[in-house]
Structure 1
Amino acid sequence: MTMNEQEWLACVNHVAGGEYPIPRGMISNYDDWRCRSTVGRALYWMDEIEASMRVLATVLDVEPDMDDAPEMGLSEAEHKVLCLRDVADIVWKLARNEEAALTYLAQAYELSRAYKHSFRSASRGDMFYRRLAILREVGKEDQAVQEAEVMLEMEAGNEGINPYRYFAYKFLAEHQHDAGDDVQATQLYAEAFKYYPVSEAGERDLARAAATEDAAARYKAYSFCSTIQYKPWEKLPPAIIRRDL
C-alpha cells in the first residue's frame, strides 16, 4: 500500500505541528519506511486513528534488517514490532476483529523473540500480554490462563529479569483478582515482580505493598507498582543482554 504526496505531507505536517512536535527533518522522507513508522505511531498517539492506520498499513509488508542495532534510536526490528502492535490495537478497538488483532500481535511477538540485540522501546513480553488480554475480553479466559501457564513452563529455566514470566504472572494475578481471590492474586503479583526491573524506589514500593495487611488494598498497591517503569527492561550494551529474551 502507498500514499500520494499530498496525503503524506498532511500527515507529516500534523505530527510536526502537534503538542509534542517531532522535527520535520526526522520524519519527512516517505521513502524511508522508518519515517512512516514514526509518523503512523505518532498519529495513533494523537488519536488520529484513520490517518494512523493509513500510514502504518504502508509498513506491514516491510522486512526489517534483523542485524540492525544502532547505538541510538530504534532498530528496524523495533520499528516493525511497534507498528504491528499499534495496528493490532487499532483493529481490535475499532473493529473488534479478534483474528486480525491476534495475527498482528503474533507477528510482533515472533519478531521480538527473534531479534538478538537489545530492545529499547518496550517490553517484549507486552506483545504476549496483549494477546492474553484480548482472549480475556472475548470470553476465552480459560484459554488465556492455559497459555500463561504454558509460558511459565517454557521460561522456567530463565531467572532474573524476564518479561515473559512477569506478564504471565501478572495476567494470572488479574485472573484471580477477577475471581474474587485477592490473597492468591497478591501472591502471584509478588512472584511476578521477581522478574521485573526494579530500582531502589521500586524496592521500597514493593515492600510497602507486601506489608499491606488487607488483601484488596495489597492487590491495589501491587497493581500500582505495575504501572511504573522503574528501570529499563534491557540493559546496554547489547553484548550483555540475554540472547533469549
Structure 2
Amino acid sequence: MNEQEWLACVNHVAGGEYPIPRGMISNYNDWRCRSTVGRALYWMDEVEAAMRVLATVLDVEPDMEDAPEMGLSEAEHKVLCLRDVAEIVWKLAHNEDAALNYLGQAYELSRAYKHPFRSASRGEMFYRRLAILREVGKEEQAVQEAAVMLDMEAESGGINPYRYFAYKFLAEHEHNNGDDAKASQLFAEAFKYYPVSAAGERDLAKAAAAVDPAERYKAYAFCSTIQYKPWEELPPAIIRRDL
C-alpha cells in the first residue's frame, strides 16, 4: 500500500459518519493505526479497502504482555483484525478453509492472552467457526465440536464465554430442528455462564415464564442480543485509579 492509498483510507475513516480523530490513526508505521483504520473501513462496508489495510497486519507479532488501562491491547488489536479478515474472506470468496484458519488464529491468540480482554468475547471466534460450519452443510460436525468444548470447559464455573456460545449454538440447532422446548432448555443453561445484570435477571425470568416453547425460545434469543455486563471486568486496582 503506497502513501496515497493510505492517506485516502485515513481521510475516509476520519470523515465518516462516526469519525475517528486523524491524530489517532494517521501513522502508517504504527501497525495499531493500520488495525484501527482497516477495521473501521470494514465496519463502513468498504470491504476491499479494509482487506488491503488489514493484510498489512497479518504478520505482526503482538506484545502479549501489553495490558493498557485504556484502549485496546496489542493482542486485542491482532485478534480483532484476524476476526475481520476471516469475515472478509468469507464474504468475498466464500473460502471456508481460509476463513476458519483466520478464526482459528484469533481464537488461539485470545485464549493465550492472560490479561483482561475487554473489546469482545473470547468465545465469539469459536461460535463463528460453528456458524460457518453450519452454513457449509457441516452442522453435525459443529454440534460435535460444541459438545467437545462443553467437556473441555466442564470444570470452569462462573462466567464462561466458551460454554455460553457452545450452548447457544446447540440451542439454535434444536430450534432449527423444530424442537423449541429443548432449544429453550439449552438457552437457559447457556445463560448460567453469561454476564447478566439485574435487568438481565428480570428478562431471563420473563423468558423462563413463557408458556409457549416458541415464545420462550424467542425471548431467550432476544436476551442473547443484549450485553448486560462486560464479559471481563477490570481489576479492582485499575478501577480505583480510573475513579
Q: Secondary structure at the match of 1:57?
A: helix
For residue 54 of structure 2, what is the aligned residue in structure 1?
A: 56
Q: Percent identity?
A: 87
Q: Aligned in 2, Cα 1:239/1:89: closer, same or farther, shift over 3 Å?
A: farther
Counterpart in the other structure of 1:217: 215
**Alpha-carbon distance in structure 1 between the residues aligned to 2:153 and 2:17:** 42
What's the Cα RMSD here?
Answer: 1.1
| Residue number in structure 2 paired with 1:243 | none
- 1:48 maps to amino acid: E
Superposition pairs of residues 160-179 of structure 1, within 5 angstroms: 160-179=158-177
1:148 aligns with 2:146: yes
Match of 1:65? 63
8 Å CA contact 1:118, 1:238 repeated in 2: no
Unmatched 5+ stretches in structure 1 = 241-245
Deviation, structure 1 residue 199: 0.4
> Structure 1 residues 239 and 124 mapped into 2: Cα distance closer, same or farther (>3 Å)?
farther
* Structure 2 Cα separation of the partners of residues 217 and 104 of structure 1: 36
- Where 1:188 maps in the other structure, the secondary structure is helix
1:24-81 deviations in Å (ceiling 9; x for gaps): 0000000000000000000000000010000000000000000000010000000000
Match of 1:47 in 2: 45
Q: How does 1:92-171 map to 2 (within 5 A)?
A: 92-171=90-169
Matches of 1:51 and 1:142 in 2, distance apart? 35
Aligned residues: 238
Matched with 2:235 is: 237
User: What are the Cα deviations for residues 221-243 of structure 1, in whole angstroms up to 9, with x where unaligned?
Assistant: 00000000000000111889xxx
Q: Which consecutive unaligned segments of at least 5 residues does structure 2 have?
A: 239-243
Q: 2:76 is matched with which residue?
A: 78
Q: Greater RCO between the two (CA within 8 Å, min separation 6)?
A: 1
Per the normalisation by structure 1, the TM-score is 0.96
